[in-house]
């Protein structure tokens, strides 16, 4: 593995070195307890990147994602109506959708994510655990866990301050009230359990035939590793703490099935720059769609592909967005050998990151208008994307323009926002002094006589200033006030060329 430099290739090689198989399974999953935030996305993208690394090794790979929607509804998030409290204790799949657009509470949030991921073109097989349990798919694994429950109890007790005296690693949902307020009374060591519920109902069932039971988390995770034959599954750092889910899981799977736990990478939490920590259950969220409003799909993948899973970072919505777009474009130019880089190791690393960021790598370097330039274009045309990108051919430019417009509307600092005057306000006219007006009239005359490049127009500004004997700063201030009503704005020469000299002349001649 000495020649491997990217973390995903190292992880993929570990998986294949560990077991020689025709096909591998990579897994991830979450409980849809509320809006799935961009922090949860790290598990999805980490798995997907490792899947791509395995595929590069020529392996057949399946990416499964489990919706743990047979978990209990624990509490009502802030962004969900409080009247749902009466459903606490039911499986998430049985709680009605408060927004009345899906079959259940769980499905509402599941579909939100699945639709978002379509933009990232991931090949994921989604598994709804409520369906799996209702079909009694895990009955064999449940039996094996129940018959080893005392050994599992001993494993868990090693890490508990208050040890379990009696331990049933099974949740039963009452057939009458549908809640998990139940107690197991007896187990026949085969497939039959007897239970009673707080609501007064009791019964004896065969869990091969009646899918109202599920294993509790740690045993459930192991049972699914066995059932799905999972080879790789990443996890947040909390799962890998002493006594955490993975630490106990690898002991449980060894004790019950004499198997090894899947390979993994540990990922660190991410946050929103200047924002709060994510929490689906409290409603403090920034979802995947919110991020894709600002970042092109390739750039979102690039951010994660270029960062080791164990490194924490913040998703930025401030001026860092401009720098991230610049850095992605730089990486892309390296890939297409349009950017010279002396360090061969770094060059190889950047090319690999780019490969993992793009599911469909272009045949040649796409057009790369800077994000900063796009913010000027979309504002110049007041959000008319088609007019703003006229002349560009790459489909990606349209997406970049849309992202730039979203950023301007939602996150850009005031100094970067502007609106081009159709009519110069009287207040602005009165604020300009004679020399400022004179320079702007000179600018009209120059624009009428000849065409300019950015550089030649920039040089013309200084010739005008010298002729009128005005400070350069006063000239620029006057020009911005006349055009957009602010003392500062985008670089003036390219801005004028983008607006077009006819539009500029129509605005500035109002000063006559």
Residue-level pLDDT at 278: 53
- Residues making up the chain, counted from first to last: 512
Q: Under a CB-based contact definition with an 8 Å cutoff, are residues 206 and 191 in contact?
A: yes
Return the H-helix or E-strand segment holding 406. Answer: helix 395-410
Contact between 89 and 73 under an 8 Å Cβ cutoff? The reply is: yes
- Closest by alpha carbon to 65, among 38, 22, 31? 31
Q: Tokens for 92, please give them.
A: 């998430």
CB atoms within 10 A of CB 450: 10
pLDDT at 79: 83
CA–CA distances in Å: residue 356 to residues 23, 323, 363: 21, 20, 16
Q: If you search the block for the tokens 């290739």, which residue do you land on?
A: 9
pLDDT of residue 173: 98
For residue 49, which phi and psi values (nearest 5 degrees)? Answer: -65, -40
- What is the model's pLDDT at position 1? 42
Structural domains of the chain sorted by starting position, each given as residue range(s) with its CATH number in brackets: 7-267 (3.40.50.620), 418-512 (1.10.10.350)
At 512 the pLDDT is 83
φ, ψ at 184 (rounded to 5°): -85, 125
Global pTM?
A: 0.92
Rounded CA gap, 143 and 83, in Å? 37
Sign of CA dihedral 35, 38, 39, 44: positive
User: In angstroms, rounded to a whole number, what is the distance separating the alpha carbons of residues 256 and 248?
Assistant: 12
Three-state DSSP class for 266? Answer: strand
**CA 92 from chain center: how many Å?**
23
Distance from CA of residue 56 to its chain's centroid?
A: 24
Which residue, among 185, 158, 155, 154, has the nearest Cα to 170 in the 3D structure? 185
> How would you class 410 by CB atoms within 10 Å of its CB: exposed for 0-12, middle for 13-18, buried for 19 or more?
exposed
Report residue 367 as tokens: 């057009």
197: left (phi over 0), alpha (psi -120 to 50) or beta: beta
- Predicted local confidence at residue 78, as pLDDT: 86
Measured distance CA(30)–CA(109) in Å, rounded: 11
- Under DSSP, the state recorded for 23 is E
Six-digit token string for 25:
């399974």
Point out which residues pair with 279 in neighbouring strands. 284
The string of DSSP codes covering 59-121 is -EEEEEEEE-TTSB-----TTS-GGGGGGTTSBGGGS--TTSSSSSHHHHHHHHHHHHHGGGT
Cβ-proximal residues to 111 (8 Å cutoff; 6+ apart), any chain: 102
pLDDT tens per residue across all 512 residues of the chain: 445 689 999 999 999 999 999 999 999 999 999 999 999 999 999 999 999 999 999 999 999 999 999 999 999 998 899 999 999 999 999 999 999 999 999 999 999 999 999 989 899 999 999 999 999 999 999 999 999 999 999 999 999 999 999 999 999 999 999 999 999 999 999 999 999 999 999 999 999 999 999 999 999 999 999 999 999 999 999 999 989 999 999 999 999 999 999 999 999 999 998 554 455 444 457 999 999 999 999 999 999 999 999 999 999 999 999 999 999 999 999 999 999 999 999 999 999 999 999 989 999 999 999 999 999 999 999 999 999 999 999 999 999 999 999 999 999 999 999 999 999 999 999 999 999 999 999 999 999 999 999 999 999 999 999 999 999 999 999 999 999 999 999 999 999 999 999 999 999 999 98
Burial track 283-307 (b if 16+ CB lie within 10 A, e otherwise): ebbbbbebbbbbbbbbbbbbbbbbb
Q: Evaluate whether 373 touches 391 at the Cβ level (below 8 Å).
A: no
d(CA 488, CA 418): 10
- Reading the block at residue 201, the tokens are 């109902």
DSSP 336: T
DSSP letters along 441-474, please?
HHHHHHHHH----HHHHHHHHHHHHHHHT--HHH
What per-residue string of b and e applies to 414-438 under the rule 16 or more CB within 10 Å gives b? eebebebbeebeeebeeebeebbbb
State how far the alpha carbon of 221 is from the alpha carbons of 171, 242, 375, 510, in Å.
14, 17, 47, 72
């Amino acid at each position: 593995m000495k020649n491997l430099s990217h973390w995903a290739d190292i992880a993929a090689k570990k998986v294949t070195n560990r077991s020689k198989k025709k096909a591998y399974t990579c897994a991830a999953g979450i409980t849809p307890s509320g809006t799935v935030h961009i922090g949860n996305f790290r598990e999805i993208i980490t798995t997907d990147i490792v899947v791509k690394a395995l595929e590069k090794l020529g392996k057949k790979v399946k990416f499964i994602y489990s919706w743990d929607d047979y978990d209990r509804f624990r509490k009502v998030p802030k962004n969900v109506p409080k009247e749902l409290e009466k459903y606490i204790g039911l499986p998430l799949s049985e709680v009605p959708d408060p927004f009345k657009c899906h079959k259940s509470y769980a499905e509402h949030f599941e579909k939100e994510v699945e639709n978002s991921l379509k933009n990232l073109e991931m090949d994921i097989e989604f598994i709804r655990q409520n369906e799996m349990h209702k079909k009694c798919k895990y009955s064999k694994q449940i039996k094996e866990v129940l018959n080893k429950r005392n050994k599992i109890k001993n494993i868990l007790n090693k890490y508990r301050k208050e040890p379990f005296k009696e331990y049933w690693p099974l949740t039963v949902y009452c057939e009458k009230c549908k809640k998990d307020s139940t107690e197991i009374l007896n187990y026949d060591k085969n497939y039959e359990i007897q239970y009673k519920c707080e609501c007064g109902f009791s019964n004896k069932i065969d869990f091969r035939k009646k899918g109202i039971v599920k294993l509790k988390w740690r045993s459930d995770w192991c049972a699914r590793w066995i059932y799905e034959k999972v080879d790789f599954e990443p996890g947040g750092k909390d799962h890998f703490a002493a006594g955490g889910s993975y630490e106990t899981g690898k002991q449980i799977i060894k004790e019950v099935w004499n198997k090894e736990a899947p390979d993994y990478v540990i990922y660190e939490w991410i946050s929103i720059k200047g924002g709060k920590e994510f929490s689906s259950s409290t409603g403090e969220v920034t979802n995947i769609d919110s991020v894709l409003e600002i970042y092109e799909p390739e750039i979102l993948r690039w951010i994660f592909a270029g960062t080791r899973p164990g490194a924490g970072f913040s998703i930025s919505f401030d001026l860092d967005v401009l720098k991230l777009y610049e850095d992605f474009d730089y990486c892309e130019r390296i890939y297409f050998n349009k950017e010279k880089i002396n360090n061969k190791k770094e060059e190889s690393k950047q090319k690999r990151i780019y490969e993992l960021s793009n599911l469909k790598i272009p045949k040649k370097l796409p057009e790369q208008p800077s994000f900063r330039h796009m913010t000027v274009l979309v504002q110049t045309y007041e959000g008319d994307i088609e007019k703003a990108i006229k002349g560009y051919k790459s489909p990606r430019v349209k997406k970049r323009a849309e992202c730039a417009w979203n950023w301007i509307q939602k996150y850009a600092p005031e100094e970067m926002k502007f609106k081009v005057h159709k009519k110069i306000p009287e207040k602005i006219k009165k604020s300009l002094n004679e020399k400022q007006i004179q320079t702007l009239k000179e600018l009209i005359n120059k624009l009428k006589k000849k065409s300019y490049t950015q550089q030649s127009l920039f040089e013309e500004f200084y010739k005008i200033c010298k002729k009128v004997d005005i400070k350069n700063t006063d000239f620029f201030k006057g020009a911005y006030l006349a055009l957009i009503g602010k003392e500062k704005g985008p670089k003036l020469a390219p801005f004028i060329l983008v607006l077009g000299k006819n539009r500029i002349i129509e605005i500035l001649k109002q000063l006559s």
